[in-house]
Structure formats: structure tokens, C-alpha cells
């Protein structure tokens, strides 16, 4: 896979940008570019100290690389640094360029202290043109930040290619097996989807037309991964400010990976039809949300030549998510509940259906089971019932500047995971607690603690990989800081 990477860019590039940001005077550009209205420099620093128990490092990207058979608890420093420039070339045309490190890349967690963590890469690059051809129409070209996010909280259930892994990484005609956990957790990746998009807004209606042919560049067209989507949003401010309803139709083109290996020269074209709504009532204190997706289409492949199943595998995945959250009026206390379901495959041997739901989801409610950067990123063949709540309190001279959240989830696989002698759906139950102390508008400290327990999938996966002292639980904690300048 080709990456938009600039390896070993001299560090003074960042130093210059940081110096410019620190000046009281505005950033200036070439004197010949007189039409430039504004150029601003900003940046982000994220640094986390992460401790993972051996049950996690056996499947995530361990420093030792020993796998479940020789895993041990590890502590690492992880995060990223980014410097960004936003430029308004005139009142219609603007651009964004961002350089920095990446937290995950190429299937690895870039722990600070190793060489790959220090590589400066192109993180963002796009140009947007307002009132393109007609009023209200915006054109964007470059690395897309588009997502289909029903709640608008950066936790997209199905479509956020900029913060997700390959669409085809879960593509298979067989059920999950002893190798599944390692395959899900062991190859974190943050894509750089390149293409163009059109956004049209007129009063309550918003339309997006998205074409990202270089979501993953693989060389020949059949080896590329691409997404083409049309989505629609209708604002329901009459019901409650911020309420909306939307729908999406997407076509995903990906290499046909069925079973364990790609089929040379073949590809999949999978269609996703979905809809969602986010309704806010009682002056915004009550939020109701829901979304559902259905997939169809085909993958040209040879699932099992010996069994005479050559031909087309049909996509039949589906997923849905719904819930509610309530904030007590005039009090910084909130609580909620949700249920999400992503279909899986129940067929032990290859067949002509891809039943697992495929997506660019970026759900990270649970730091061990769901989070791609910290945990296992189990993102298909999965259901979870979650209860969450939290409160804010004032510390020092701040007002409600300490936020504490907790979540507990009962989770299972939608279809059994097959091991040598047993099948199980017990993915486990998880309890997490998070705290964020906002020091200023641009700086905060955060802490996270996660417990996964009663996970037969975890225990059996360790035993299948000759893991010593296999357990059905895991622990992780994070202590970190976020800084914006």
C-alpha cells in the first residue's frame, strides 16, 4: 500500500512552524501572493502512557512481538505530534496542510522511542472551493475528512474512512476462528483516503457526494480500495435544535479477500444502504438516536474450488445501533444506554455468502474491545448492550472542568467463534472509567482504566496460540495529556 509519507523530514520544518505560531504578529506569505486573506498555524500534541496486561499484548502490537505464547505486560508511550496550516486564499478558496507523526501506521502501534514513531508524514492535505458552480455548493479535493456520523461526536458507527482500517479486512466467507482476535487486533491502520467530494447545503437540507478512488492505493484498479457515497441530511430543528435525519448509499470497491488470501485479479463491489436519526428534545437534555445498515453486492472470487463453489460470493451483512442519553437540567450529570449489533458469519467452511458486516466504523466506546488505538478493535460479528453515565465538577478556579465518565457493557459475538474443541459467543463484559481535567481551553490531562472479564473468546484464543497462563480477563490503563496551540 502506498502512503503519503515524507520520511525523515528535517525537524526544523516543525520548529519553523511552531515558531511562527508563537509570534504575536500574523503569519505572512510571499509578497507576490497578495490575494491571500489569512494564514494561520496551529498544532496538536497527544502523549499517553499506556499499560496493557499480557492478555492484551499477546494480540495487539507488542513491543516484544512474542505473541500469546510469550506475552507479558507492557508499558509504552504513545501519541502523535501535528502541525497544521489553514490558509484562506480568498473568500472562496481555502486549504489545509498538516504534517506530523502518526499514532498507528502500517499495521503497527508507533510507540514513542522507536524509529517509526519519529517519522514526519503528510497527515492532511486538501483544498476546498466555496460556491462552486452555484451558491451553497462546496468542492473538496485531497485527503478527505468526510464521515457519516449520526450523533456528530466523532464516533461514527459505519463510515469514517479517515479514522478506520481497510473496508475489506473483515471480508471472509467463513466464521470467526482461533486466529480472528490476532487478525483484528494486530494490524491497526489509519487510512488517508484521497479523492474529491461535493457538499451542498440549502436551508435544512445537506447533500454529500463523495468519490475516494484512492482510499487504499494497490496498483491495478482491481487491487485498489475505493469508496463512492451519496448521503443526505435533513435538519429537524423544529423538533429540537441539532436534531437531524439522514440516509446514505455507498459503494465499496475492494480486493476480494475470501478465507485467508486475496484472489488474484478479483475484486468486490459491495453496496451499503443505511439511514439514521438523532433527535434532541426537552431543550436538548434528552437525545434519542438510531441507525441501521444493510449490505448487498458481490465479490468475484473462488471461495473453495475443491468444493465446487467457484463464482460469486454475495454480501449479506447488516448492522444497527440505537440508544438514548439524558442530562439532568441545570446539573452536569448525564446517563444513557445503547445497543449495537453487527452481523457475523456462522458457516465453518467457505460458502457463497459474506455475512459479516463490513465498514469503516470508528466506534471507540470501549477501550479494550473497540478502540483501534488502544485495544482489540473487534468491529464485526458483535453485539453490545452498554450503560454509561458521568458527571462534571469544578476544580480550582475552573467551572465544571473535571469530567468523569463510566461505561459498562455486556458483549457477545453474533455468531459463535470456532475453536478446536469448543465454540463460544462469550466475548466478555467490560467496565471502563475515564476522567478528563481541563486545565485551559487548550490543555487537558486524562486518565482511563478498562477491565474486560468473562471473555471465553480471549481465553480460548490464548490457549489456541499456545499461550501460557491463559486468562479470560484483561486490564489496561492510560494516563496522558492533550495540548493544542
Q: Is residue 320 part of a domain?
A: yes
CA 111/CA 102 separation, integer angstroms = 10
Give the up-direction half-sphere exposure of residue 352: CA atoms within 13 A in the CB hemisphere.
6
Q: 85 is written with which cell numbers?
A: 496550516
In this structure, of 21-35, 349-363, 458-472, the range with the lowest mean pLDDT score is 21-35
Q: Is residue 17 part of a domain?
A: no
CA 115/CA 26 separation, integer angstroms = 35
Per-residue model confidence (pLDDT) at position 68: 77
Q: Is residue 69 part of a domain?
A: no
CA 303/CA 256 separation, integer angstroms = 10
Per-residue model confidence (pLDDT) at position 25: 46
Burial of 343 (0-12, 13-18, 19+ CB in 10 A): buried
Q: What is the mean pLDDT of residues 288-312?
A: 74
| pLDDT single digits (tens) 132-156 | 999 999 999 999 999 999 999 989 9
Q: How many domains does the chain have?
A: 1
Residue 471: which domain range?
127-484
Nearest to 384 by CA among 427, 415, 339, 343: 339
Find how far residue 445's CA is from the centre of its chain.
22
Per-residue model confidence (pLDDT) at position 5: 43
Residue 7 in this model has a pLDDT that exceeds 90: no
CATH number of residue 339's parent domain: 2.40.160
- Select the highest-mean-pLDDT range: 29-33, 100-104, 322-326: 322-326
Q: Is residue 261 part of a domain?
A: yes
Q: Is residue 397 part of a domain?
A: yes
Please say whether the beta carbons of 6 and 120 come within 8 A. Answer: yes
Per-residue model confidence (pLDDT) at position 333: 96
| pLDDT single digits (tens) 231-278 | 999 999 999 999 999 999 999 998 765 444 445 567 788 999 999 999
Residue 171 in this model has a pLDDT that exceeds 80: yes
Query: Nearest 10 degrees: CA dihedral of 177, 161, 359, 452?
Result: 50
**Model-level pTM?**
0.89
Q: Is residue 458 part of a domain?
A: yes
Amino acid at each position: 500500500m502506498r502512503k503519503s509519507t515524507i520520511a525523515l523530514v528535517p525537524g526544523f520544518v516543525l520548529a519553523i512552524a511552531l515558531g511562527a505560531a508563537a509570534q504575536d504578529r500574523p503569519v505572512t506569505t510571499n509578497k507576490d501572493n497578495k490575494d491571500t486573506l489569512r494564514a494561520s498555524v496551529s498544532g496538536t500534541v497527544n502523549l499517553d502512557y499506556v499499560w496493557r496486561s499480557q492478555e492484551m499484548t499477546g494480540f495487539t502490537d507488542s513491543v516484544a512481538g512474542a505473541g500469546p505464547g510469550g506475552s507479558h505486560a507492557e508499558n509504552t508511550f504513545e501519541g502523535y505530534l501535528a502541525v497544521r496550516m489553514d490558509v484562506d486564499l480568498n473568500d472562496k478558496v481555502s486549504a489545509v496542510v498538516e504534517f506530523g507523526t502518526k499514532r498507528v501506521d502500517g499495521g503497527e502501534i508507533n510507540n514513542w522511542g522507536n524509529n517509526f514513531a519519529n517519522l514526519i508524514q503528510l497527515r492532511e492535505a486538501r483544498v476546498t472551493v466555496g460556491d462552486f458552480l452555484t451558491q451553497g455548493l462546496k468542492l473538496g479535493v485531497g485527503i478527505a475528512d468526510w464521515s457519516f456520523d449520526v450523533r456528530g461526536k466523532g464516533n461514527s458507527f459505519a463510515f469514517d474512512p479517515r479514522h478506520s482500517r481497510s473496508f475489506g479486512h473483515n471480508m471472509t466467507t467463513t466464521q470467526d476462528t482461533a486466529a480472528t482476535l490476532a487478525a483484528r487486533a494486530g494490524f491497526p491502520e489509519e487510512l488517508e483516503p484521497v479523492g474529491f467530494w461535493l457538499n451542498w447545503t440549502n436551508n435544512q437540507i445537506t447533500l454529500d457526494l463523495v468519490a475516494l478512488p484512492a482510499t487504499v492505493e494497490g496498483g491495478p484498479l482491481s487491487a485498489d480500495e475505493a469508496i463512492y457515497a451519496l448521503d443526505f441530511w435533513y435538519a429537524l430543528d423544529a423538533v429540537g435544535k441539532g436534531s437531524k435525519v439522514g440516509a446514505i448509499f455507498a459503494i465499496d470497491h475492494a480486493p476480494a479477500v475470501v478465507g485467508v488470501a486475496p484472489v488474484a485479479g478479483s475484486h468486490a463491489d459491495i453496496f451499503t444502504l443505511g439511514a439514521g436519526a438523532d433527535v434532541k428534545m426537552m431543550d436538548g437534555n434528552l437525545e434519542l438516536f438510531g441507525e441501521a445498515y444493510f449490505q448487498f453486492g458481490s465479490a468475484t472470487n473462488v471461495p473453495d474450488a475443491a468444493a465446487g463453489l467457484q463464482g460469486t460470493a454475495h454480501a449479506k451483512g447488516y448492522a444497527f445501533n440505537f440508544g438514548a442519553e439524558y442530562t439532568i437540567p441545570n446539573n452536569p450529570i448525564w446517563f444513557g444506554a445503547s445497543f449495537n449489533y453487527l452481523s457475523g458469519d456462522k458457516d465453518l467452511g467457505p460458502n457463497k455468502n459474506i455475512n459479516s458486516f463490513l465498514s469503516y466504523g470508528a466506534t471507540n466506546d470501549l477501550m479494550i474491545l473497540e478502540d483501534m488505538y488502544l485495544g482489540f478493535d473487534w468491529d464485526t460479528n458483535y453485539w453490545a448492550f452498554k450503560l454509561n453515565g458521568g458527571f462534571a465538577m469544578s476544580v480550582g478556579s475552573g467551572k465544571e472542568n473535571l469530567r468523569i465518565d463510566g461505561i459498562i457493557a455486556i458483549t457477545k459475538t453474533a455468531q459463535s467463534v470456532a475453536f478446536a474443541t469448543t465454540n463460544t459467543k462469550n466475548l466478555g463484559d467490560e467496565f471502563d472509567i475515564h476522567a478528563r481535567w481541563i486545565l485551559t481551553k487548550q490543555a487537558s490531562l486524562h486518565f482511563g482504566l478498562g477491565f474486560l472479564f468473562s471473555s471465553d473468546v480471549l481465553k480460548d484464543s490464548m490457549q489456541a496460540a499456545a499461550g501460557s497462563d491463559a486468562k479470560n480477563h484483561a486490564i489496561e490503563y492510560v494516563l496522558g495529556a492533550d495540548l493544542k496551540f
